[in-house]
């Protein structure tokens, strides 16, 4: 089973530029979480802080008792082996075949024999649907295939925590839908804790158990997906609705006068629909996280906002179909 990641009071700056402060959240073991946020809000910096590649000035990231911020470098290095990382561009070596790219971490970090490496690599290549392409160079395949190769490489060391940084960037909607299914199938097969950073609303709506959002140097919210999907926070409504009206500006946050002018002219936010979460493909085992998540969420349900509470109850009360939730108008003060 995946491992819980506990983040406590994390604060990160570069020089005088504060990126985010006092971020606290828990990635529940084996569940899939998504982190949303406008460009430049520090989502990638957050992922790098979880694995100890960047050092926040304050706070802790606890994994199996090791603090990825403050523990000795030796412990951080060992704990980093629990992670599988999938970067935006696949981060493949251009001169190596897909096979050799995917085999790279095994050759670098283990003393396995070539025959064993071949078995593991071909198994992961099959999981991501790239059988037959293993001899190709990264330059000879599509962007979507490169991402899947990056995912296969992230899987060879049997990670218990998988971090994906914008796995959808550059993919068309159909490829993105396949990728969403692949992430859920992967979770069903290996039960790893997963955190996906994305701007993609389809992935956000269908893949995660939990969702969070970074904005204005803070974690706006993090919790069961229904909390964010029913949230009436203006920044959440704007982001989920893909609207210009709201606190998120083109290059920076809007000033108070612009926001006030918009509030007078804004069109009402459309009703939001909570679509069912994706299920693993036929033939795969059920996701073990589902039962654990249900127990966890039901034990905290009384602490959640009313709209989230009823969405969760409705979700668990039905097997299929869509729940329509009318979100309050952003900026109305509701
Ligand atoms: N090593 C670094 N040194 C200095 N500043 C950095 C460094 N890494 C990131 N930053 C700054 O931190 C801020 C957040 O960057 P980050 O890439 O984490 O944003 P993001 O939310 O992932 O954005 P996007 O969605 O566009 O990928 C940016 O202003 C960036 O310039």
Q: How confident is the model at residue 263 (pLDDT cuts 50, 70, 90)?
A: low
pTM of the predicted model as reported, rounded to 2 decimal places = 0.87
The three-class DSSP label of residue 300 is helix
Strand order across the beta sheet in which 58-63 lies: 17-27, 5-14, 58-63, 66-67
DSSP state of 197: E
pLDDT tens for residues 94-113? 899 999 999 998 998 889 99
Rounded average pLDDT over 265-279: 72
At 233 the pLDDT is: 85
Q: How many CB atoms lie within 10 A of CB 156?
A: 23
Ligand 1: which residue has its CA nearest to atom 1?
Answer: 14
pLDDT at 333 over 50: no
What residue's CA is closest to ligand 1, atom 29?
40
44 touches ligand 1 (CB under 6 Å): yes
Q: Is 187 in the pocket of ligand 1 (CB under 6 A)?
A: no
What is the percent of the chain with per-residue pLDDT over 90, rounded to a whole number? Answer: 56
Q: Ligand 1 centre from 39 Cα, in Å?
A: 9
**Distances from the Cα of 94 to the Cα of 120, 151, 292, 323, angstroms:** 22, 16, 41, 46
- What pLDDT shows up at residue 334? 35
Mean pLDDT of the chain: 86
Residue 299 has pLDDT above 90, yes or no: yes
What phi-psi label fits residue 173: left (phi over 0), alpha (psi between -120 and 50 degrees) or beta?
alpha
C-alpha span between 240 and 204 (Å, rounded) = 9
pLDDT surpasses 80 at 118: yes
Does the C-beta of 19 come closer than 6 Å to ligand 1? Answer: yes
Residue 14 in contact with ligand 1 by CB distance below 6 A: yes
Which protein residue has the closest C-alpha to ligand 1 atom 5? 14
Question: Is any ligand 1 atom within 6 A of the Cβ of residue 200?
Answer: no
Which H or E run includes 10?
A: strand 5-14
Read off the pLDDT of residues 48-96 as tens digits, 9 standing for 90 and up. Answer: 999 998 999 999 999 999 999 999 999 999 999 899 988 766 678 889 9
Q: Check pLDDT > 60 for residue 190.
A: yes
From 43, 48, 248, mutation site for ligand 1 pocket: most ligand atoms within 8 A of C-beta: 43
Q: What percent of the chain has pLDDT over 70?
A: 87
Ligand 1, atom nearest to 199 Cα: 25
Which tens digits make up the pLDDT trace of 128-173? 888 999 999 999 988 888 888 988 898 898 899 999 998 887 778 8
Q: Which CATH fold topology does 5-82+159-325 show?
A: Rossmann fold (3.40.50)
């Amino acid at each position: 089973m995946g491992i819980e990641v506990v983040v406590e009071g994390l604060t990160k700056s570069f020089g005088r530029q504060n990126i985010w402060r006092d971020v606290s959240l828990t990635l529940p073991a084996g569940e899939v979480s998504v982190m949303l946020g406008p460009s430049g809000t520090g989502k990638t910096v957050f992922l790098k802080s979880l694995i100890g590649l960047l050092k926040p000035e304050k706070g802790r990231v606890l994994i199996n008792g090791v603090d990825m911020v403050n523990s000795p470098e030796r412990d951080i290095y060992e704990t980093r082996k629990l992670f599988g990382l999938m970067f935006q561009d696949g981060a493949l070596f251009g001169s190596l075949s897909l096979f050799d790219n995917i085999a790279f971490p095994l050759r670098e970090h283990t003393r396995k024999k070539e025959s064993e490496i071949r078995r593991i690599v071909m198994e992961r290549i099959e999981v991501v649907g790239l059988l037959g392409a293993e001899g190709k160079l990264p330059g000879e395949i599509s962007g979507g295939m490169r991402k899947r190769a990056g995912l296969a490489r992230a899987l060879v060391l049997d990670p218990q925590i998988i971090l994906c940084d914008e796995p959808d960037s550059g993919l068309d909607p159909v490829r993105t839908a396949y990728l969403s299914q692949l992430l859920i199938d992967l979770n069903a097969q290996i039960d790893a804790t997963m955190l996906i950073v994305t701007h993609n609303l389809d992935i956000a709506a269908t893949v995660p158990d939990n969702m969070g959002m970074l904005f204005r140097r803070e974690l706006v919210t993090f919790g069961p997906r229904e909390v964010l999907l029913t949230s009436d926070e203006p920044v959440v409504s704007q982001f989920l609705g893909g609207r210009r009206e709201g606190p998120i500006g083109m290059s920076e946050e809007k000033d108070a006068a612009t926001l006030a002018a918009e509030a007078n002219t804004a069109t009402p936010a459309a009703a939001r629909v909570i679509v069912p979460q994706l299920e693993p493909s036929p033939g795969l085992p059920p996701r073990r996280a589902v039962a654990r998540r249900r127990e966890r969420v039901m034990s905290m349900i009384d602490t959640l906002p009313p709209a989230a509470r009823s969405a969760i109850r409705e979700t668990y009360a039905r097997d299929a179909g869509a729940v329509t939730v009318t979100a309050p108008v952003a900026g109305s003060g509701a």
